[in-house]
Amino acid sequence: MTALRARLKIYNTETRQKEEVAPIDGRTVRMYTCGPTVYNFAHIGNFRTYVFEDLLRRTLKFLGYSVRQAMNLTDVEDKTIQGAIAQKISLDAYTRPFKEAFFEDLQTLNIEKIELYPEATEYVAEMIAIIQRLMDQGIAYKGKDKGIYYSINRFPSYGRLSHLHLDELKAGASECVTTDEYEKENVSDFVLWKSYDPERDGQVWWESPFGKGRPGWHIECSAMAMKLLGESIDIHVGGVDNIFPHHENEIAQSEAYSGKRFVQHWAHSEHLLVDHKKMSKSLGNFYTLRDLIQRGYTGRVVRYMLLQTHYRTQLNFTFQGLDAAQASLERLSCFIARLHGIRKEKLHLVLDLILEKALPESPEKKQWRSRILFDLKQENERDILDPLILEPILKRILFQHPEHKGIVSKILTEWQDEKHRELLIPILEKVLRDVPERTRLLQKIIHDVRNEKDRDILNPDVMKPILHKVLSSFPDKKERVEGALKEIHTQEKKGPVFAILQQTMEKFVLNLADDLNISPALAALFDMVREINSLCDMGKVSIHEAEETLDFLAKIDEVLGVLPLKPEEEVVPAELLDALQKRELARSEKNWQLADECRNFIQARGYLIEDTPTGVRLKKGKIL
């Protein structure tokens, strides 16, 4: 199923309206993301922002934009340095484990890996170059404490992002601030370069034309964004708490430096509250992602919980809310399992018939049949019609039979034919409905299709010559061939399932394209689940439609990143693997009694030992 193309509109904090995203260079959306300060494990409020940014990135890609994104890691600022000094270790030794933990957490939440993860400490030279130019222009000056400060009076549009009225606020605020974070009431000149203070900075300092010291927090992002993405970028994202002063200061620094507009679109996600209160350690309502995982929630559930509230609405976190997210995902999970089940059930009936005919008569025939069917049922791959999946199973089970090669290839041929019948017969029966010998003609077509190396039999280039040949004796051959090809072409667009999927995709895409309006997009998804479930209840969903729906869900999940598309992998308990190893050793030493004990231990726990050409393995099941 192809996704609809739509242009994305996103709310721009600066202009206070939704605006279409149109890359400056006409090709690639360049996006900058303020990343974590790596002095601790990130909390769920931080991850709300990162999940929003991931949704934005995935939506852009889904809609056909190409994206180049950078997220910085703030490894030098007041908190990281304090941590390193307190533990008497280097800054790098202190921040490294938190950087690693951060990447683990991103993976837990299925946040897509982006192109660039710059670390602030590696861009100090770029920061110094910007500060130097601001000094040369007279926009930056040396303060009484020898630090370098930005004179906000020299940047007339200061405050335009946070919509501050500087003339009202600025009365009396002529001093400058050294701290990186401060409130709007304290709007004032901010620090670019902090002059070295041994007590505050420990071993952390760089040489610069303005003396020994270290960069302020705000200059870090300006330097990394401009260095890696260019002086004018398309989208800058972050949490609302970054708007002032951080992003305001980024604009002032970057634009005074380059003379160009720094950012086209500013997008910010709202706060996360816990039980309607600001999350804080002192209130005991502070949660890292790791806290939630420890309580037994999966990354998917947390991601879904963070994702399902629109990014510009405050999200109130509660454990009931998290449980509800879990329940929603379970509904989707059941639905997906049901679709897999429909495919498998129907295919198993077909394969069973083929095996009945193709397997040679022997006392083991019944056992072979059930083992083949059993093994295929364990396959988590979606396309179990693929001979690449069936073939190794057949070889493994039949390898002792002297004629196994011939038998395997016979079954595979029949199996492939069956797939073609499944796909082609409903189409061709319509075109041939008035022909008395249509069964024979259909068989001929299936036979010819079998000889096609090209697997994509629904491709008109493959089918056209075959149809021409088979229908050559008909006076209205041309019309019939064209009719059949047209039928093949539109085949996917038939039936209620396809109509439901198409409508759902439309709603999903149009809502996301409208400022990531996630609630109606998800509602459309759950409506679809309800409607197709009731078709399943009535037995009206074919193998092909089940596959189509699974493809649809995989497509949707490119954006959501939460669906359990594959059934859970089975994990064999470690004690059984140990027992299997012990048994093999005992057998090699001809200690049959111990070998039998190990086998009994394994079987008593519901597993079977299977001999294969590549060795033994365990699988779930009872002795047949």
- β-pair type (213-215, 189-195): antiparallel
Nearest residue (CB) to Zn ion, 221 versus 315: 221
Tell me how far CA of residue 614 lies from CA of 388, 396, 534, in angstroms.
Answer: 18, 9, 45
Nearest residue (CB) to Zn ion, 81 versus 292: 81
Nearest residue (CB) to Zn ion, 70 versus 221: 221
From the number of C-beta atoms within 10 Å of its C-beta (0-12, 13-18, 19+), residue 240 rates as: middle
Q: Looking at 26-34, 84-92, 357-365, 477-485, which segment touches Zn ion (CB under 5 A)?
A: 26-34
Nearest residue (CB) to Zn ion, 255 versus 545: 255
Rounded (10°) angle between helices 248-258 and 217-229: 50
Question: Least distance to Zn ion from the beta carbon of 314, Å?
Answer: 22
Q: Looking at 4-12, 170-178, 221-229, 448-456, which segment touches Zn ion (CB under 5 A)?
A: 221-229
Restricted to residues 314-373, the positions that interact with Zn ion (CB under 5 A) are: none
Amino acid present at 140? A
Nearest residue (CB) to Zn ion, 34 versus 543: 34
Q: Looking at 214-222, 304-312, 547-555, 600-608, which segment touches Zn ion (CB under 5 A)?
A: 214-222
Question: Least distance to Zn ion from the beta carbon of 221, Å?
Answer: 3
Distance separating alpha carbons of residues 303 and 323, to the nearest angstrom? 12
Question: Least distance to Zn ion from the beta carbon of 243, Å?
Answer: 11
Question: Least distance to Zn ion from the beta carbon of 283, Å?
Answer: 27
Q: Looking at 29-37, 206-214, 415-423, 523-531, which segment touches Zn ion (CB under 5 A)?
A: 29-37
Question: Least distance to Zn ion from the beta carbon of 7, Å?
Answer: 27
Residue recorded with tokens 């991601």: 303
Q: Looking at 32-40, 260-268, 448-456, 520-528, which segment touches Zn ion (CB under 5 A)?
A: 32-40
Question: Least distance to Zn ion from the beta carbon of 568, Å?
Answer: 39
Contact 540, 496 (CB under 8 A): yes
Cα 362 from chain centroid (whole Å) = 49
Contact 619, 593 (CB under 8 A): no
- Counting residues that bind Zn ion (by CB under 5 A) gives 2
Q: Looking at 115-123, 134-142, 217-225, 521-529, which segment touches Zn ion (CB under 5 A)?
A: 217-225
Q: Is residue 221 close enough to count as binding Zn ion by CB under 5 A?
A: yes
Nearest residue (CB) to Zn ion, 266 versus 368: 266
Question: Least distance to Zn ion from the beta carbon of 190, Å?
Answer: 13
Nearest residue (CB) to Zn ion, 160 versus 464: 160
Question: Least distance to Zn ion from the beta carbon of 244, Å?
Answer: 13
308 Cβ partners below 8 Å, 6+ apart?
325, 328, 518, 519, 522
Tell me how far CA of residue 444 lies from CA of 462, 473, 525, in angstroms.
Answer: 15, 14, 42
Question: Within 10 A of 104 (CB to CB), how many other CB atoms are there?
Answer: 13
235: phi then psi, degrees, rounded to nearest 5: -135, 135
Q: Is residue 225 close enough to count as binding Zn ion by CB under 5 A?
A: no
- The H or E element spanning position 519 is helix 518-537
Nearest residue (CB) to Zn ion, 150 versus 287: 150
Amino acid present at 120? A
Q: What is the contact mask toward Zn ion in residues 164 to 203, using x (rule: CB under 5 A)?
A: ----------------------------------------
Strand spans (E) along 335-490:
none
Distance separating alpha carbons of residues 35 and 74, to the nearest angstrom? 7
Q: What angle do CA 536, 538, 544 make, to 5 degrees?
A: 45
Q: Is residue 76 close enough to count as binding Zn ion by CB under 5 A?
A: no
Question: Least distance to Zn ion from the beta carbon of 180, Å?
Answer: 10
Nearest residue (CB) to Zn ion, 263 versus 522: 263
Tell me the three state secondary structure of residue 101: helix
Find out whether the peptide bond into 573 is cis, omega within 30 degrees of 0: no
Nearest residue (CB) to Zn ion, 70 versus 109: 70
Nearest residue (CB) to Zn ion, 246 versus 420: 246
- β-pair type (233-239, 28-33): parallel
Secondary structure (DSSP) of 50-73: HHHHHHHHHHHHHTT-EEEEEE-B
Question: Least distance to Zn ion from the beta carbon of 204, Å?
Answer: 19
Q: Is residue 34 close enough to count as binding Zn ion by CB under 5 A?
A: yes
Q: Is residue 263 close enough to count as binding Zn ion by CB under 5 A?
A: no
Question: Least distance to Zn ion from the beta carbon of 72, Å?
Answer: 6
Residue recorded with tokens 């190893």: 581
Distance separating alpha carbons of residues 82 and 197, to the nearest angstrom? 12
Q: Which residues bind Zn ion (CB under 5 A)?
A: 34, 221
